[in-house]
């Protein structure tokens, strides 16, 4: 197991929700990362952010780890959920709410409903 792979596994094991992204949740560095971080921030989800721009090993390692070619990547309870398009669809359909509820992840249901109302 590579150093990057072991650090990825440790991070997704130690945190219920992890977003591998370009930039940070406070300062996203690309539109797709900004969209997913914005959804999570608005919904009040407590999550770890990993800035792939700070570490080329993690930047490539997360793509290999998930077998998914793009960043951002969201993990919930150690499971890969998806990237920007998938998270956007899941937010609008309510699937993300259901996943958080099933996983015991705290989030603001009213905020999630407001996202759907604004995009409905």
Q: What is the pLDDT of residue 92?
A: 97
State mean pLDDT over 39-57: 97
57-71: pLDDT as tens digits: 999 999 999 999 999
Look at residue 1 and tell me whether its pLDDT is greater than 80: no
User: In which order are the strands placed within the sheet that holds 17-21?
Assistant: 48-51, 17-21, 73-76, 79-82
Domains of the chain (ranges; CATH) run 3-119 (3.40.30.10)
96-113: pLDDT as tens digits: 999 999 999 999 999 999
| pTM, entire model | 0.96
Classified as helix, coil or strand, 20 is strand
């Amino acid at each position: 197991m590579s150093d990057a792979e072991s650090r990825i596994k440790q991070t997704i094991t130690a945190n219920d929700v992890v977003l591998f992204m370009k930039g940070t949740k406070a300062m996203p560095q690309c539109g797709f990362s900004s969209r997913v971080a914005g959804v999570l921030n608005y919904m009040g989800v407590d999550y770890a952010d990993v800035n792939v721009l700070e570490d080329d090993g993690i930047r490539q390692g997360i793509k290999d780890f998930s077998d998914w070619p793009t960043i951002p990547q969201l993990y919930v309870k150690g499971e890969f959920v998806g990237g920007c398009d998938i998270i956007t669809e899941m937010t609008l359909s309510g699937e993300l709410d259901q996943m958080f509820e099933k996983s015991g992840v705290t989030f603001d249901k009213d905020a999630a409903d407001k996202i759907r109302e604004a995009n409905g």
